[in-house]
């Protein structure tokens, strides 16, 4: 196999980067509402912090795989904690069973996507020939 065809920011790495951006926007929005009323500036700060490891991929930094794995693990843990916190916030005790079920059915896919995305791309960053050749890891 031609080395140039497997090295560089293309193929699955490009899919990863393009797919990560809307997810990071969504998770930054969700997390910014944890303690405040969804301030736009906090959303931007969270998104910028989460997206920083993506820039390491563009720059082909050898630490890019490690930082991207760490970032997604952090996002998955934080969004899981954020989702759980909704059920222990003041006023949540007034929630009816139907409301709680509706909330669970809304939050479960959000958390599941974060966890699945993390697992899939962690495995990719650790096992991919393209990643090894591009980042030397």
pTM comes to 0.84
The 10s digit of each residue's pLDDT in 36-51 is: 788 899 999 999 999 9
Q: Is the pLDDT of residue 16 over 50?
A: yes
The number of CA neighbours under 13 Å toward the Cβ of 2 is 3
Cβ pair 15, 57 in contact under 8 A: no
Domain count, the chain: 1
Q: For the chain, what percent of residues have pLDDT higher than 70? A: 93
Can you say whether residue 91 is alpha, beta or left, with left for phi > 0 and alpha for psi between -120 and 50 degrees?
left
Question: Domain of 67?
Answer: 3-135
The 10s digit of each residue's pLDDT in 95-118 is: 888 988 998 999 999 999 999 999
């Amino acid at each position: 196999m031609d080395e140039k065809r497997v090295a560089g920011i293309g193929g699955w790495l490009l899919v990863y980067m393009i797919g990560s951006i809307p997810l990071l926007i969504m998770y930054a929005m969700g997390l910014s509402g944890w303690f405040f009323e969804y301030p736009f500036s906090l959303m931007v700060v969270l998104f910028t912090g989460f997206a920083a490891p993506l820039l390491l991929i563009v720059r082909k930094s050898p630490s890019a795989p490690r930082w991207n794995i760490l970032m997604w693990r952090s996002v998955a843990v934080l969004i899981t904690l954020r989702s759980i916190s909704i059920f222990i916030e003041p006023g949540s005790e007034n929630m009816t069973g139907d409301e709680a079920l509706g909330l669970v059915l809304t939050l479960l896919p959000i958390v599941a996507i974060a966890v699945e995305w993390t697992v899939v791309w962690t495995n990719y960053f650790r096992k991919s020939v393209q990643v090894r050749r591009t980042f030397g890891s």
